[in-house]
Amino acid sequence: MGYIIGEEAKDLLRDVKEFCEKEVKEQIKEYDVSGEWPRPIYEQAQEMQLHMMDVPEEYGGLGLDHITQAALVEQMAWADAGFAVTMNGNGLALKPVLISGNEEQKKKCSEMIVNGGYGAFALTEPDAGCDASNGKTTAVREGDEYVLNGRKCFITNASVADFFVVTAMTDKTKGTKGMSAFLVYKGTPGLSVGNHENKMGVRTSTTSDLVLDEVRIPAENLLGEEGTGFVTAMKTLDLARIWCAVIGVGVAKRCIDEAAAYARQRVQFGAPIGKNQAIQFKMADMEIRTEASRQLIVHALTLADKGLPFSKESAEAKCFAGDSVMQTSIDAVQILGGYGYSREYPVEKLMRDAKIFQIFEGTNEIQRMVVGRSVIGKI
């Protein structure tokens, strides 16, 4: 564990570890196969307050520091990536509210999460993935209301969310400066959840389309000012990318643990395969990559905590951790050989889970663009 945490955090981590090992790790397997959302496990996790780690203390949250939170989220991801993604989805939805919302909005959304609700961040659209500014969803002001129309896709927690942060164009002529962010609550007429994705990995996290058909919301549901939605979304993603990296590291750590356990007990040619340098070197690379990912995370979180710019560093952490966990999961499957390819063993799931970390919260190609442009500067 590369995070340097205090005694209180270690104590919390022990409890979370025990919970994850006894209530999540094994139970999650059948949900991974069926694709069913594991509500009972999430209800238990909510009782432990694992769903509200991003809620500030003044709004009823825990007031954990970022490094402690990273250690806990990594442990959750170690048990199941989808579990961590679901719990972390609340933070992703709350972040834009905390960035741009007014006091009442912050309080209301925080309370929803603290009381066991879920939030969802609805930015992505069929034609606006990496190119988020190309969104087609519109919001038109009519008196004291906005009318929203459009379709969002790949929305984590959409099918269970009590509130949504929805980005929409209020002025298409202004490009990114014409995008605004709105709070839309579950049950608003015209708001519906569409197609559920049958995903390759993180199958215990629910991902769906969100359809907005003449959705009328009060004008006070606007987050911040009109035209600030893109900036709000990008600031949200800056932090969300670090948590994405943290979850990836949790998956990588599980890959290492499973591969090491197998390397100790699998005997070939009269000796455990872990005695072979070929396996040792592979394990070493898995560990080096994973620890390096952690340290990039720590660096980005430290900058964020100090109020310093961290967009480049969060992109670096997300990109490196995403590529690392993918390679580490491939290595774990390789070390387990035929058994690694079988659903009898856990590493094939880890490999399916790992792929998303190169894709969501901005593909790793986008992360490289962020880092590259930052290094080269204005031309």
Partner 1 sequence: MNILVCVKQVPDDFAKVHLGENGKPALEGIDKVVNAFDTYAVEMAVRLCENHGGRVVVATIGAEEEVRPSMVQMIAVGANQAYIFAPNTADGDESSVAAGLAELVKKTEETIGESFDLIMCGKESTDEISSQVGAMLAEKLNLSFVSSVIDVKPAEAGLCVKQETEEGSASYEVSCPAVVTVAKPEYDPRYPNLKSKMAARKAVIPYLSDALTPVQPAVRCMNYQEPAKREAGVKIQEKNAVDAVARAIALMADDKVL
Q: Does 15 bind partner 1 (CB under 8 A)?
A: yes
Q: Please report, as residue ranges, which positions from 212 to 271 form the binding site for partner 1 (by CB under 8 A).
A: none
C-alpha to C-alpha distance for 292 and 278, rounded to whole angstroms: 21
What's the 3-state SS for 246-275?
Answer: HHHHHHHHHHHHHHHHHHHHCEECCEEHHH
C-alpha to C-alpha distance for 343 and 13, rounded to whole angstroms: 29
Q: Does 48 bind partner 1 (CB under 8 A)?
A: yes
Ranges of H-type helices in the chain: 7-19, 28-34, 39-47, 66-79, 81-100, 103-114, 229-265, 277-305, 311-341, 347-354, 364-376
Stretch that binds partner 1, among 13-21, 77-85, 171-179, 336-344 (CB under 8 A): 13-21
CB-CB contact of 126 with 64 (8 Å): no
Q: Is 117 or 340 the residue whose CB approaches partner 1 more closely? A: 117
- End-to-end Cα separation, the chain, in angstroms: 41
Query: Which position among 74, 125, 258, 361 bears the catalytic label?
Result: 361
Q: Is 49 or 280 the residue whose CB approaches partner 1 more closely? A: 49
The least CB distance from residue 152 to partner 1, in Å, is: 32
DSSP state of 166: E
Q: Residue 54 corresponds to which tokens in the numbers above?
A: 């991003």
Q: Residue 274 corresponds to which tokens in the numbers above?
A: 């872990």
Q: Of these, 49, 102, 268, 280, which contacts partner 1 (CB under 8 A)?
A: 49
The least CB distance from residue 18 to partner 1, in Å, is: 7
Q: Is 19 or 42 the residue whose CB approaches partner 1 more closely? A: 19
Q: Does 286 bind partner 1 (CB under 8 A)?
A: no
Q: Of these, 5, 27, 62, 287, which contacts partner 1 (CB under 8 A)?
A: 62
Q: Is 77 or 336 the residue whose CB approaches partner 1 more closely? A: 77
Q: Does 19 bind partner 1 (CB under 8 A)?
A: yes
The least CB distance from residue 252 to partner 1, in Å, is: 24
Query: 271-272 and 222-223: which strand pairing?
Result: unpaired
Stretch that binds partner 1, among 42-50, 179-187, 227-235, 337-345 (CB under 8 A): 42-50
Query: 119-122 and 163-169: which strand pairing?
Result: parallel
Query: 267-268 and 163-169: which strand pairing?
Result: unpaired
Q: Does 64 bind partner 1 (CB under 8 A)?
A: yes
Bridge partners for 164 per DSSP? 120, 184
The least CB distance from residue 52 to partner 1, in Å, is: 8
Residue 361 designated active-site: yes
Stretch that binds partner 1, among 17-25, 172-180, 276-284, 296-304 (CB under 8 A): 17-25
CB-CB contact of 109 with 183 (8 Å): yes
Q: How many CB atoms lie within 10 A of CB 335?
A: 25
Stretch that binds partner 1, among 15-23, 90-98, 153-161, 320-328 (CB under 8 A): 15-23
Q: Does 50 bind partner 1 (CB under 8 A)?
A: yes
Q: Is 51 or 318 the residue whose CB approaches partner 1 more closely? A: 51
Q: Residue 268 corresponds to which tokens in the numbers above?
A: 């070939």
The least CB distance from residue 64 to partner 1, in Å, is: 8
Q: Residue 360 corresponds to which tokens in the numbers above?
A: 């969501």
Query: 271-272 and 267-268: which strand pairing?
Result: antiparallel
Stretch that binds partner 1, among 45-53, 81-89, 163-171, 305-313 (CB under 8 A): 45-53
Tell me how far CA of residue 320 lies from CA of 165, 204, 374, in angstroms.
Answer: 28, 24, 16
Q: Is 8 or 257 the residue whose CB approaches partner 1 more closely? A: 8
The least CB distance from residue 109 to partner 1, in Å, is: 19
Binding-residue total with partner 1 (CB under 8 A)? 15
CB-CB contact of 119 with 157 (8 Å): yes
Stretch that binds partner 1, among 9-17, 90-98, 130-138, 207-215 (CB under 8 A): 9-17
Q: Does 47 bind partner 1 (CB under 8 A)?
A: yes
Name which of 43, 51, 41, 57 is nearest 85 in CA terms: 51
Looking at the annotation, which residues are catalytic? 361
Task: State the residues that interact with partner 1 by CB under 8 A.
Answer: 8, 11-12, 15, 18-19, 23, 44, 47-50, 53, 62, 64
